[in-house]
Structure 1
Amino acid sequence: MSINFTLSDEQRKLQHEVRAFAENVLAPIVPDADREPDPVRAVQRTKPAYVEAYKAGIAMCMLPRQYGGGGVSCVDLVIAAEEICVVDPGFACTVLCNGLGLMPVSWYGSEEQKERFLRPATSDPSGEFLGGWTASEPAGSPSGTANFDIPLPRPAGVGLIARRDGDQYVLNGRKYWPSAAGWDEQGVNLQTAIVRTDPEKGGTEGLSAIVIERGTPGITYKYIDKEGHRLTSNAEVVFDDARVPAENLLPGAQGNGDFVINRNFAWSGPVAAIAAVGVARAAFEKALAFAKGNTAGALKPIINFQNVGYVLGDVAAQIEMGRYFSWRAADYLDKHDQHAELVGAMNKIQVTEMMFDCVYKCMQIVGVNSLDALHGFGKLLREASVFPIYDGGNMGMQRRRVHGFLADPQFNPRAIMEDEYIPLEKHHEAIDTVVP
């Protein structure tokens, strides 16, 4: 018996269909949208492509089939995601972060909530429905989110407070970097937000997840003008006595919002990793074509020089490594009820950093000409720089998660090799969060 890396006929079909969408529908609009200086209008320029992605079943493909979603596996999702990310990973965030915003409902929501929230997400006749994930908070002292599981009392840790008032929660505080902020600075249709439902507690205690609907009074959005991933809508979100129905609190996440954060970023780990693979693949294909057509003043194209061939060979191999690690992490998610808190973090860290190096190596092959906007390497470098620092930053949250597992006296160093399930528990959190 062998380990099979060959895509099935269905996976090939999915890959080719999404590639056709990316090349024929998305690619023509990306250059002008990326150059648009206004961040709101930049995102709005991608709306027609999003509507086509929605109507083609791509935008909600990750949601469970019983609620109208595509029900694709995590492996199938990363196969499809790579094709979009080759063209524009920012737009891919708009599409794929529907999963970050709505998968927690499928994991931790009641049956009534799944029907109430997921069914509209998968049956919008306009094709404009957006889901969002709202966990991070603005930098400050104290503020930010990387140390969300710090074992200290308030005000350390997550600061968005949700106080119970009858049949509602009253939300006050700020969030930063939600996965999407809507088409018009008025918010997405549904966002899952991490809130502190016990204001007297800090660290991982008293955290919960609640679904917030578009149009909720007391919430304002201001788009962030970003260097990379310009075609997805991130924002500062201010909550000022915003009232959210208590029935929107996800019961499976009440008091365990920290587990939602860790599980969500584990689910998105191979998605971020394969996005980095897509960007590196685009850079490699550009650099290879350049090397085969440019002599740099010699008599033959530079692909015939050893240093060029060696560097591009290394890049090609690293892209393959990154792709297969992403498939492996996605496969682990599929086998373990979409839990991969250790493997997902390892995958995200290693692949996103390796792919950033690949993009820069490709620029070195092209040389100073890579600075010419005509070749598109500037955009690729901007996009590649995002992956190690977003989606649970590698240096902030992801490496700490890995460290927490490894420091456990009961950790089995062969567990991943043997495909064992490695559950995240409270004692794995908070490591490295308190300065001695």
Structure 2
Amino acid sequence: MFEKVVCQMAIDFTLSDAQKKVQLDARDFAESVLAPIVRGADREPDPLTAFQMTKPAYIEAYRRGIAFCMLPKEYGGGGLTNVELILAAEEICAVDPGFACTVLVNGLGLLPVWYWGTEEQKEKVLGAATSDPSGEWIVGYGASEPAGTPGGTANFDTPLPAPAGIGVTARLDGDHYVINGRKYWPCNVGGWDGAGANTSLYVVRTNPEKGGTEGLAALLVDRGTPGVTFSTIDSFGHRLTPNSEVVFDNARVPRENLVEGTQGNGDLLINRNFAWSGPVAGIAAVGVARAAYEAALSWAKTYTAGGPHPIIHHQYVGYVLGDVAAKIEASRYFCWKAAHYIDQHDYHGELIGAMNKVFCTELLFDAVYKCLQVVGVNSADKKHMFEKYLREAAIFPIYDGGNFGMQRRRVHGVMASPGFEPRALMNDEYVEFTKDMETIGTVSPPTSVGTQRIETVPPPTPAGTDRVGTAAPAPVEA
């Protein structure tokens, strides 16, 4: 028999005064600083020039503490929790998710230094990033590679031997690593002038004799390193963030630029980064859908289509917009849940981060398209913002670890694990992510003949997780 329990429920969707301030400060920046430059920059045909047009806004974001808000205060960062981070991200993404992606990648490049770097690396790299008087400091993150050269990143965690998986190699030569190969799609790595970010973190194969997930680590490559060249990719969405092709031709990087705790675990770095960015990508989709919904609702309340009343009075319009609003609300709170989970579990959330990213980005792509249906053919007129909303929404499911590939495979790998507890997320319990969860579905089993049993390729023996070695620091309170 249930008994009445007199206590305050732990779940409360009311923002604290501090959280509300983070949200409103981000909204003020997005609307007063970022919004005036977005339309012109988005229409600029040259992708590098388009990115450069955001530089004044970035410098202001740096001065307001936004550019490195995710780093701990002890190293000069903003010290925001992940919940606070996505409260701010929604406001910026509602104006332009490409610019927000530039800021996000600062975290993808430097949080692994916080997790696994030496104290000297943390003080040197994080300190430099957060103390630039010009406000221009920018960080790149490079994991993605072009497909088939030789492996590509979509199957970076295949158990097959070299050259499958990540193909950029870094061979130790004395006190330097010599890097060769190509990366494709890394963000921020070209910097403001296309000649290099201040520093970039790349996942490379430091043991080229090993394939699959073995022998991977993270190296910091500083601006001006000889043998590194960049070319900017022209994408149809997120045009205000810079994606590049990077070519390494015997680039020499000091041995001390290896992020020590990532040696042999670069694969787990990739998965942990995607865990952290999962709810950020999810809330970015919320921001874009929110902007499209509000614009469509305003249109429906003023546009009559030649009839006696605005079209909002038609059932179809009202029902569709009501469904869109519900999807936005549901996705927003799932992002809050995922961010809170990552705060509670030492910046781990490989399962919930992937689930969140897949669910929100796909659900809200449909929501944005529904807004275009409500507006009708007028949504195709570029004097309105709807075509931009659709382009931005289409990027979410395929970037930051494609939903069909990296994200769903991570969920699949965790669920297939013998010890998986299906109620773990409901109970806010830690779900460990290990190497033996990575390889699922990356190798097709041989075909069977008749009723012969199909033998699958077993996963490699687990080589530990990123919980060994340097422990992740506890979340920093704002």
Query: Please, what TM-score do these two structures have when normalized by structure 2?
Result: 0.90
Equivalent position to 2:417, from 408, 424, 430:
408
Aligned to 1:225: 234
2:58 corresponding residue in structure 1: 50
User: What amino acid sits opposite 1:73 in the alignment?
Assistant: T
Counterpart Cα distance in 1 of 2:435 and 2:178: 27
Alignment partner, residue 192 of structure 1: 201
Deviation at 1:139, TM superposition (A): 1.9
**Partner residue of 2:435?**
426
Summarize the alignment of residues 76-95 of structure 1 with structure 2, pairs less than 5 Å apart.
76-95=84-103
Aligned counterpart, 2:390: 381
Instruction: State the Cα RMSD in Å.
Output: 0.7
Alignment partner of 1:288 is 2:297: yes
Secondary structure of the corresponding residue to residue 92 of structure 1:
helix
Tell me, in whole angstroms, the C-alpha distance in 2 between the residues paired with 1:113 and 1:147: 30
Measured against aligned partners, the alpha-carbon deviations of 1:194-233 in whole angstroms (never above 9, x if no partner) come to 0101000000000001111111110000000110011001
Q: 1:303 matched to which residue of 2?
A: 312
- Contact residue 139 and residue 199 of structure 2 kept, 8 A: yes
Q: 2:349 aligns with which of 337, 340, 356?
A: 340
Partner of 2:78, secondary structure, is: coil
Decide which of 9, 30, 41 is 1:22's aligned counterpart. 30
The answer to whether the Cα contact below 8 Å between 2:150 and 2:167 also exists between their aligned partners in 1 is no
Once the two structures are TM-superposed, the CA of residue 141 in structure 1 deviates from its matched residue by 5.6
2:279 aligned with 1:270: yes
Q: In the TM superposition, what whole-angstrom CA distance separates every residue of 1:50-79 from its partner, at most 9, and x where no partner exists?
A: 000000000000011110001100000000
2:254 to 245, 254, 268: 245
Partner of 2:458: none
SS of the equivalent of 2:312 reads helix
After TM superposition, give the deviation of residue 425 of structure 1 in Å. 0.8
* Match of residue 9 from structure 1: 17
State the distance in 2 between where 1:208 and 1:141 align: 19
Match for residue 33 of structure 1? 41
Deviations 1:288-312 (A, max 9, x none): 0000001112111111111111100
* Equivalent residue number for residue 136 of structure 1: 144
Using the alignment, how far apart are the partners of 1:137 and 1:376 within structure 2? 32
TM-superposition CA deviations, 1:388-424 (whole Å, max 9, x none): 0000100010000000011112111111101100011
Partner of 2:212 in structure 1? 203
The answer to whether residue 325 in structure 2 is matched with residue 316 in structure 1 is yes
Q: How does 1:163-178 map to 2 (within 5 A)?
A: 163-178=171-186
- Residue 265 of structure 2 is matched in structure 1 by 256
Q: Which has the larger radius of gyration?
A: 2
Q: Which residue of 1 aligns with 2:114?
A: 106
Question: Residue 257 of structure 1: CA displacement?
Answer: 0.3
**Structure 2 unpaired stretches of 5+:** 1-7, 446-478
The SS at the match of 1:225 is coil
Instruction: Give the TM-score, by structure 1 length.
Output: 0.99
Question: Helix, strand or coil for the counterpart of 2:366?
Answer: helix
- Structure 1's consecutive aligned runs of 4 or more residues displaced over 6 angstroms after TM superposition are none
Equivalence for 1:372 = 381
CA distance in 1, matches of 2:167, 2:149: 12
CA distance in 1, matches of 2:23, 2:359: 24
Figure out how many residues of one structure are paired with residues of the other and give that number: 436
Tell me the distance in 2 between the aligned counterparts of 1:16 and 1:163.
48
Distance in 1, matches of 2:183 and 2:198, equals 17
Amino acid at match of 2:208: P
**Partner secondary structure for residue 374 of structure 1:** coil
Report the counterpart of residue 83 of structure 2 in structure 1: 75
SS in 1 for 2:36: coil
Task: Choose which of 397, 406, 412 in structure 1 pairs with 2:406.
Answer: 397
Letter in 2 for 1:210: L
C-alpha distance in 2 between matches for 1:405 and 1:178: 27
Deviation at 1:427, TM superposition (A): 1.1
The whole-number CA distance in structure 2 between the counterparts of 1:147 and 1:200 is: 18
Matched, 1:183 2:192: yes
CA shift, 1:140, in A, is 2.6
Q: Structure 1 residue 120 and structure 2 residue 128: aligned?
A: yes
Q: 2: CA distance between counterparts of 1:23 and 1:96?
A: 19
Match of 2:155 in 1: 147
Q: Does 1:358 align with 2:353?
A: no
What CA distance in whole angstroms lies between the structure 1 residues aligned with 2:423 and 2:54?
A: 45
C-alpha distance in structure 2 between counterparts of 1:141 and 1:240, whole Å: 15
Deviations for 1:74-124, whole angstroms, at most 9, x for unmatched residues? 000000000000000001111121001111100010000001100000000
- The secondary structure found in structure 2 opposite 1:339 is coil
Shift of 1:13: 1.0
Partner SS state of residue 370, structure 2: helix
Task: Report the alpha carbon displacement of residue 142 of structure 1 after superposing the two structures with TM.
Answer: 3.3
With over 3 angstroms needed to count, the CA separation of the structure-2 counterparts of 1:13 and 1:77, relative to structure 1, is: same
Aligned AA (2:138): L
For 1:214 and 1:121, locate their aligned partners in 2 and report how far apart those are by CA, in whole Å.
Answer: 13
Q: Are the counterparts in 1 of residues 278 and 357 from structure 2 also a CA contact under 8 Å?
A: yes
SS at match of 2:421: coil
Deviation at 1:187, TM superposition (A): 1.5
